[in-house]
Homo-oligomer: A and B are copies of this chain.
Amino acid sequence: MNLKEYLQQEEFVVKCECGISLMNAKLQIINAELGMRLGRKVIHSMSSRIKSYESIVVKLKQKGLPEHAQAVEEYIYDVVGVRAVCTYTDDLYQIAEMLCAQKDMKLLKKKDYIKNPKKSGYRSMHLIFQVPISFEAEVQWIRVEVQLRTAAMDYWAGLDYQLQYKKENREAKNISRELKAYANAIEQIDSKVLELRRRIEAI
């Protein structure tokens, strides 16, 4: 079976959707609890996706891996992805902590691209969990990547994403450089907004 067929198998797709269902439920519960405790909306919007065949092929190439199902199973950790966009950076860390404290799933990897942004300027928190799906009378573990970011980081990432499939000419390089510089401005917005919120809360 080739990679495309593997990714289109009904069983594979259903398992991925189950992983999304479960992580969505966990995020909703955290959102409900934090919203109540803090008296404000914590998660602004949520989305999820199963990585497309095309994107997986690009990623395998970048990593110098063959186009095989096994390579995906071993080395591609973000086939199933759930993204939650928050308003404030501290809420985002709170959610990360609450996810990591859950005993019914395992944290495989944590990449804090907020404290340590990528060279491009990209900022987000990436958490990769293994979640248990009770499937065909046995428990199977599915990897789910959770991306946590503020609306400002999401803004920036949207531009970066649009740029990524553009050809590598001079203007593209110029924009890329400007985007990187702009990542700092975005970071300052997040800090400023957080500072103002805290001062408002303290009144």
- Partner-binding segment picked from A65-73, A74-82, A111-119, A192-200: A192-200
Query: How far, in angstroms, from A155 to B139 measured CA to CA in the complex?
Result: 33
Query: How far, in angstroms, from A25 to B19 measured CA to CA in the complex?
Result: 10
A193 touches B155 (CB 8 A): yes
B11 touches A21 (CB 8 A): no
A45 interface contact, C-beta 8 A: yes
Query: How far, in angstroms, from A45 to B46 measured CA to CA in the complex?
Result: 9
A182 touches B192 (CB 8 A): yes
Minimum C-beta distance from A28 to chain B (A): 5
List B contacts of A58 (CB < 8 A). none
List B contacts of A171 (CB < 8 A). 199, 202-203
List B contacts of A201 (CB < 8 A). 162
Number of chain A residues close to chain B: CB under 8 A? 62
Given known contacts A155-B87, A196-B159, A21 and B17 CB-to-CB distance under 8 angstroms: no
List B contacts of A151 (CB < 8 A). 151-152, 154-155
Query: How far, in angstroms, from A35 to B40 measured CA to CA in the complex?
Result: 31
A133 touches B29 (CB 8 A): yes
List B contacts of A90 (CB < 8 A). none
Question: Could you tell me which residues of chain A, from 32 to 50, have a CB within 8 Å of some CB in chain B?
Answer: 32-33, 35-37, 40, 44-45
